[in-house]
Structure 1
Amino acid sequence: MVKHIFYHFLETKEKEEENRRCDLQLGHPRSEFVERNNRSPQLLYLFPWEIKKVISTHDLQHQIGLELNAKQVKEHLLIHWDGETKGRVINGERIPIQMLDLDTRTEYQVFFTKWPNHDMYLILGSWFMEFVANRNVTSGMTIGLYWDKKSKTLRVSVLDKFI
């Protein structure tokens, strides 16, 4: 932290009125010490990437779809859905949802479901291989996902360029 001195050459309106009533001349300028942080500001993240997924070789080899952690899904996706839809997903039913790649503005019609007998969720459909091919996604890359409440779509983007 670096200390700087700042001078106040202008009085507040109240102080100015008080000086006028008392017929006082302008006094010496007031000053104060201010501490300033010299660190550079942090980047602002413009999108709320609630779910971050590192693409594994397993994801790329099996081409089934994208596996998501149950804890993240429950905390960041299911809370935005109505009770009936949540129940259908938890019971293993495939729910159609809209997905939007924010970088290419490509829309995908996908299915969201829970793995039977596992605590994992899946985003199914041909979108994943199209996404991988179009975006040159490789093992180790990070993608971000979040649910947009207004449009009721799952938003996705490759985050490696931001991190």
Structure 2
Amino acid sequence: FHCETSDGETHLAKKRKLSLQGTKKNNVCNAVPAIVHVPLPVARRPRNWNCSTGLELFDDPWKIKKVLKQTDLGSNCNILIKRELAKDFIVPVLGGRQICENRDVRVPVWDLDTNSVHSLVFTIRPSNQSHVFKDTWIRDFVLRRNLKIGDEIGLLWDQYNGQFVFSVLRAYCCHQVRGDQH
């Protein structure tokens, strides 16, 4: 609390002034300063710093992820994309269902890991409505990158360059422990 004296000074200010005057003798300050107690505020109000303290995780850019299976690496020469992922992240950027359903759509694919551009064909098969990338998938990706069953790949759409971006997100390592053979 603060008490005002008759001359308008607060009690605390007057105490501080007297304390400082008492420590000076012959223009020499004593080494020990006077202790002044400052009262704590009665109520603490929360401060608004205009910033969020909530935790925000970054959005994973790899919207299309796939762990490769034998069918993706085999003689079919294509990679099957889940229908939901294709409808959400591929078909809209290639012009809609009418365009993709009636014809093959050639798309550039940039391999982020090797900094090389390739071309794949996206199609929706009319027989079973499966969504696939085909054409040079085996040559340009499976063989060139030595992809194996269990590797996880990712695809995303680069809207600024009008192309898909490909990356091997995780290479599958299968270590077999063999017994000692004598």
- Give me the TM-score of the superposition, normalised by structure 1: 0.65
Report the number of matched residues: 127
Task: Determine the C-alpha separation between the residues in 1 that align with 2:58 and 2:167.
Answer: 13
- Other structure's SS at 1:138 match: coil
- Counterpart pick for 1:158 among 168, 179, 182: 168
The equivalent residue for 2:111 is 101
Determine whether 1:77 maps to 2:90.
yes
Distance 1:136 1:45, change over 3 A: farther
Q: Note the aligned Cα RMSD (angstroms).
A: 3.0
Determine whether 1:88 maps to 2:80.
no
Determine whether 1:131 maps to 2:146.
no
Task: Determine the C-alpha separation between the residues in 1 that align with 2:38 and 2:94.
Answer: 64
Rg (Cα) greater in structure: 2
Cα distance, 1:27 vs structure 2: 5.2
Encode CA deviations 1:108-151: one digit per residue, 9 max, x unaligned.
12211111211311111224323122222101111011111111
Higher strand share: 1
Determine whether 1:56 maps to 2:66.
no
Distance 1:69 1:116, change over 3 A: same
Q: Which runs of 4+ in 1 moved over 4 A?
A: 22-28, 44-47
Task: Determine the C-alpha separation between the residues in 1 that align with 2:99 and 2:146.
Answer: 33
Say which structure, 1 or 2, has more relative contact order (CA 8 Å, 6+ apart): 1
Give ranges in structure 2 of 5+ residues lacking alignment.
1-8, 13-36, 41-56, 172-182
- Other structure's SS at 2:108 match: strand
Task: Determine the C-alpha separation between the residues in 2 that align with 1:47 and 1:134.
Answer: 26
- Give me the TM-score of the superposition, normalised by structure 2: 0.59
Give ranges in structure 1 of 5+ residues lacking alignment.
1-21, 29-43
- Other structure's SS at 2:170 match: coil
